[in-house]
């Protein structure tokens, strides 16, 4: 094989590997039971995540976005096996975590790490930075004390801190530095995937960019896969490859980041976009502003969960829940009327013909509607 042929084969292999899922959620639900007093009526469970299927590809940065309470953190914790699902499965590297023996699960826990929004709350204030970062090394390997110290010093340098910082406590650092300590601790387990749960939301805007750049650098340096949970879309635009938009425990749109920003298809995504500042006046276009509060996840609305706030809602939306439909390469959306909504506002989008499943649902609904009108006195 000539060097150029080898190069082509290597590139194709790399592209194939990059498309392979490292982690998958299949029909995942998490319903939290609500405690009730002795004589109180039993309250319905909180449907934090409801029947979500999602793949995370090797080497990508996948963002989970949505308003507060939409289920992003719960979905992240389910994927990392930090919460037990009410229903559904988590598949890591093709293996169902529910069937893995304890020893293998411990390895999975090392492979899948998490960093939190508030590093101060997640770092033990009584421990030195060296102990905080060194703990996973101590727990998971038989490294000597000096090896551990050398590894911690290396990790501190990797995240932009100095080895001398190892002797200090978390309160002696700024917010950005504390987040770097959290990242170093996650890296100590030599993970393959890191989930950042709002990793920069608590930081000053100037520091946010530094931490985002650090995560990007580490991703390339260590071949990591990143899942980033974020409230707003501004942060994730610059760092993610794909975006999953969540509303009331469900994914309503999944798309490559540029496609999502250029032509958001779901009315909820369009409303979220209204909150993103646009720099050039030519790029500004009227978009709906999201009104009202999110309904309670204990009593989600019937049909499409977004119908109580959707400016495009019709009778069908109240009755029939839309399913995720493939609408273009790599794009999925859960809305009965996304075609019409896109046609009204998205200009150049090429629209496929309606799927058989969609047409069938629509005709079933129309039949049902005409039958109920006929049966009225």
Ligand X SMILES: Nc1ncnc2c1ncn2[C@@H]1O[C@H](COP(=O)(O)OP(=O)(O)OP(=O)(O)O)[C@@H](O)[C@H]1O
Query: Which residue ranges make up the site for ligand SF4 (CB under 6 A)?
Result: 266-267, 304, 306-307, 310, 312-313, 317, 322, 335-337
- Total residues contacting ligand X (rule CB under 6 A)? 13
Q: Give dist(CA 97, CA 350) in Å, integer.
A: 40
Tell me which residues touch Mg ion (CB under 5 A). Answer: 73
Residue 297 within binding range of ligand X, rule CB under 6 A = yes
Q: Cα-flanking dihedrals φ and ψ of residue 364, to 5°? A: -60, -45
Smallest gap from residue 314 Cβ to ligand X (A): 27
* DSSP single-letter state for residue 226: E
Smallest gap from residue 118 Cβ to ligand X (A): 11
Q: What is the CA radius of gyration of the chain?
A: 23
What DSSP string runs through 4-41? HHHHHHHHHHHHHHHHSEEEEEEEEEEEE-----TTSP
Residue, CB closest to Mg ion:
73
Q: In the window 43-82, what residues touch ligand X (CB under 6 A)? A: 46, 48, 66, 68-74
Q: Which is nearer to ligand X, 159 or 202 (CB)?
A: 202
Smallest gap from residue 275 Cβ to ligand SF4 (A): 18
Smallest gap from residue 75 Cβ to Mg ion (A): 9
User: What are the CA-CA distances from residue 157 to residues 165, 175, 191, 289, 297 (Å)?
Assistant: 10, 17, 18, 44, 44
Q: Which is nearer to ligand SF4, 36 or 296 (CB)?
A: 296
Q: In 3-state terms, what secondary structure has residue 179?
A: helix
Smallest gap from residue 332 Cβ to ligand SF4 (A): 14
Residue 32 within binding range of ligand X, rule CB under 6 A = yes
Q: Which residues bind ligand X (CB under 6 A)?
A: 32, 46, 48, 66, 68-74, 231, 297
């Amino acid at each position: 094989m000539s060097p150029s042929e080898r190069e082509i084969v290597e590139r194709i292999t790399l592209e194939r590997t990059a498309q392979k899922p490292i982690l998958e959620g299949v029909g995942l639900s998490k319903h939290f039971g609500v405690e009730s007093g002795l004589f109180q009526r039993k309250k319905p469970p909180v449907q934090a995540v409801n029947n979500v299927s999602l793949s995370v590809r090797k080497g990508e940065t996948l963002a989970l976005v949505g308003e507060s309470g939409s289920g992003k953190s719960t979905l992240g914790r389910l994927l990392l096996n930090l919460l037990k699902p009410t229903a559904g499965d988590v598949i890591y590297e093709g293996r169902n975590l529910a069937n893995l023996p304890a020893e293998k699960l411990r390895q999975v826990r090392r492979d899948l790490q998490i960093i939190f929004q508030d590093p101060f709350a997640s770092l033990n204030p009584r421990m030195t930075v060296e102990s905080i970062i060194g703990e996973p090394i101590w727990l998971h390997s038989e490294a000597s004390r000096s090896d551990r110290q050398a590894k911690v010093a290396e990790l501190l340098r990797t995240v932009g801190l100095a080895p001398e910082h190892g002797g200090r406590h978390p309160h002696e650092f700024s917010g950005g530095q504390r987040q770097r300590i959290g990242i170093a601790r996650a890296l100590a387990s030599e993970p393959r995937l890191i989930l950042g749960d709002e990793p920069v939301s608590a930081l000053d805007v100037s520091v946010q960019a530094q931490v985002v750049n650090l995560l990007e650098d580490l991703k390339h340096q260590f071949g990591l896969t990143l899942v980033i949970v974020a409230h707003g879309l501004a942060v994730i635009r610059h760092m993610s490859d794909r975006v999953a938009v969540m509303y009331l425990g469900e994914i309503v749109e999944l798309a490559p980041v540029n496609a999502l920003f250029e032509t958001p298809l779901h009315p909820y995504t369009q409303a979220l976009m209204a909150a993103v500042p646009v720099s050039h006046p030519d790029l500004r276009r009227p978009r709906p502003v999201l009104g009202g509060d999110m309904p309670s996840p204990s009593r989600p609305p019937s049909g499409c969960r977004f119908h109580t706030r959707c400016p495009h809602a019709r009778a069908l939306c109240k009755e029939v829940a839309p399913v995720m439909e493939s609408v273009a390469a790599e794009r999925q959306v859960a809305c009965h009327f996304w075609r019409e909504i896109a046609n009204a506002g998205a200009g150049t989008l090429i629209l496929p013909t309606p799927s058989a499943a969609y047409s069938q649902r629509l005709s079933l609904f129309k039949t049902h509607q005409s039958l109920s009108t006929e049966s009225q006195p």
